[in-house]
């Protein structure tokens, strides 16, 4: 039951080239930067990433992107990362842009064993109709476009509406960061770090969590657990310096 491993390098050692990874966090909030750095040091490439975004140019998933370790990404947001946009527009990166709520539900459904679901989000757009550029050629033409999805009418809340079929996501691995975790893998997330982290953890066949504070089993009140340890396979305890090493995307100050 003790899921603690000695180092981040050991925790990611079996992540192979071409693996798919769900990576928690939102912007730079709650990202598993220590595990990402260990994966970068291991030299793994051709990765398929599922994450809300891809970090910034020099932090988080951005360091994997900078060295062209990522082949494909399913994400909701490409802002704050010029290299992401450059690689996408120059045909060096395949990108499946997905509405944020839909992406969250695809991960949750995958973790709950639900293969697909219908949602109204995206009906009447390229999300449902197809044709959204996934990869460009170097000349700017579209090399790979999204296929059309099934759209069906449903009676819902007294009205007939159209809904689009979305398939759930299950990945080979998941990397997440928690404020607190015990040796059994039960996790607690701090504030807005409880965004995509639980969902990504659920979607991974093998989930690795870096925790800012490691405690013994029983030290976390069951009512305080945000993600039960059944979803977590490995736990890495961060050093105080690693736990404190956090960034924000934009520092806003006021003149006094």
- Residue range 155-192, pLDDT digits in tens: 998 999 999 999 999 999 999 999 999 999 999 999 98
- Residue range 12-40, pLDDT digits in tens: 999 999 999 999 998 888 999 999 999 99
- For the chain, the structural domain boundaries read 8-115+168-244, 117-167
Q: Is the pLDDT of residue 79 over 80?
A: no
* Closest listed residue to residue 49, CA positions, set 26, 91, 19, 80: 19
User: What local confidence, expressed as pLDDT, does residue 78 receive?
Assistant: 80
Q: What is the mean pLDDT of residues 91-105?
A: 96
Backbone phi and psi for residue 202, each to the nearest 5 degrees, phi listed first: -65, -35
pTM listed for this prediction:
0.93
* Closest listed residue to residue 147, CA positions, set 161, 167, 163: 167
User: What local confidence, expressed as pLDDT, does residue 249 receive?
Assistant: 67
Assess contact for 12 and 38: CB atoms under 8 A: yes
For domain 8-115+168-244, which architecture applies?
3-Layer(aba) Sandwich (3.40)
Q: What is the mean pLDDT of residues 30-58?
A: 94
Q: What is the spatial distance between Cα 232 and Cα 227, in angstroms, rounded to a whole number?
A: 9
User: What local confidence, expressed as pLDDT, does residue 218 receive?
Assistant: 95
Q: What is the mean pLDDT of residues 77-84?
A: 84
Length of the chain measured in residues: 256
């Amino acid at each position: 039951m003790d899921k603690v491993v000695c180092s981040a390098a050991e925790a990611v050692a079996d992540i192979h080239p071409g693996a798919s990874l769900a990576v928690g966090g939102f912007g730079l909030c709650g990202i598993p930067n220590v595990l990402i750095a260990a994966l970068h040091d291991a030299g793994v490439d051709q990765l398929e990433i599922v994450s809300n975004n891809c970090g910034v140019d020099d932090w988080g998933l951005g360091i994997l992107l900078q060295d062209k370790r990522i082949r494909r990404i399913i994400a909701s947001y490409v802002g704050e990362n010029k290299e992401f946009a450059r690689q996408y527009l120059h045909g060096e990166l395949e990108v499946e842009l997905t509405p944020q709520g839909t992406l969250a539900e695809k991960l949750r459904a995958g973790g709950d064993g639900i293969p697909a679901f219908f949602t109204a989000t995206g009906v009447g757009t390229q999300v449902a109709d197809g044709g959204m550029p996934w990869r460009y050629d170097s000349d700017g033409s579209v090399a790979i476009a999204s296929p059309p999805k099934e759209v069906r009418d449903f009676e819902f809340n007294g009205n007939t509406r159209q809904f689009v079929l979305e398939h759930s996501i299950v990945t080979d691995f998941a990397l997440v960061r928690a404020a607190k975790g015990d040796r059994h893998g039960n996790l607690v997330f701090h504030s807005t770090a409880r965004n995509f982290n639980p969902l990504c953890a659920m979607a991974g066949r093998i989930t690795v969590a870096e925790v800012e504070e490691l405690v013994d089993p029983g030290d976390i009140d069951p009512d305080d657990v945000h993600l039960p340890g059944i979803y977590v396979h490995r736990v890495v305890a961060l050093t105080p310096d690693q736990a404190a090493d956090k960034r924000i995307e934009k520092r806003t100050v006021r003149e006094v």
